[in-house]
Amino acid sequence: MVILASPADAKDPVRAPQLERLVACKAMADPAARLACYDREVASIDQAEQRNELVIVEKEQVRKARRTLFGLSLPRIDLLAGADNDDTIDQIDSKIAAARQGPGGWRVTLEDGSIWQQVDDKPMFRDPKPGDTVIVSRGALGSYFLRVNKVPAIKVRRII
């Protein structure tokens, strides 16, 4: 679970102040004071969450968001970095929903709705078709490669 207080706090994976105060309650020796502290801080966290000042996200939600955003050129905001910085997605495996060849090369739509446009002039050895297995992998310097059914990859960019 990741708890973020605001996008600015997401840069450095530190605890939100509300969570720090809640965790500090467990150090209280007096049971009545500890319970009162827990009640007060849980209420504070609940109110902050209801006002959208605090967002609680499960790790799996972060993974799904990263997969959905794979290949898009977005500014680096590190909002999803707090979950696990080692969990970077370097490739996605999917199936083709649609593929068509146009004047700019192949345009391939994956089952998740993402659309990838060929940006090099390499020929495909076999025309891609719906249901084919596809791997899109991250290359150097922001490039991406799409490989259909284990044949040599073409260079692509995500357009949607």
Summarised one tens digit per residue, pLDDT across range 135-159 is 999 999 989 999 999 899 999 999 9
User: What is the per-residue pLDDT for 8?
Assistant: 47
Backbone angles phi, psi at 97, to 5 degrees: -95, -35
Is residue 84 assigned to a domain? no
Same domain, 8 and 65: yes
**Residue 10 domain-assigned?**
yes
Cα-trace Rg, the chain:
22
Domain that holds residue 22: 2-69
At 56, give phi and psi (nearest 5°): -110, 120
This prediction has a pTM of 0.69
Tell me: do 60 and 100 sit in the same domain.
Answer: no
Contacts of 23 (CB under 8 A, 6+ apart): 15
Within-domain flag for 83: no
20 with 64, same domain? Answer: yes
Q: Are residues 109 and 58 in the same domain?
A: no
Residue 19 CA to its chain's centroid (Å): 23
pLDDT in tens, 48-102: 999 998 888 888 888 888 888 888 876 666 665 655 555 678 999 999 999 999 9
Q: State the average pLDDT for the chain.
A: 86
Number of domains in the chain: 2
Residue 156 burial (CB count, 10 A): 24
| Look-up of token digits 């084919």 | 132
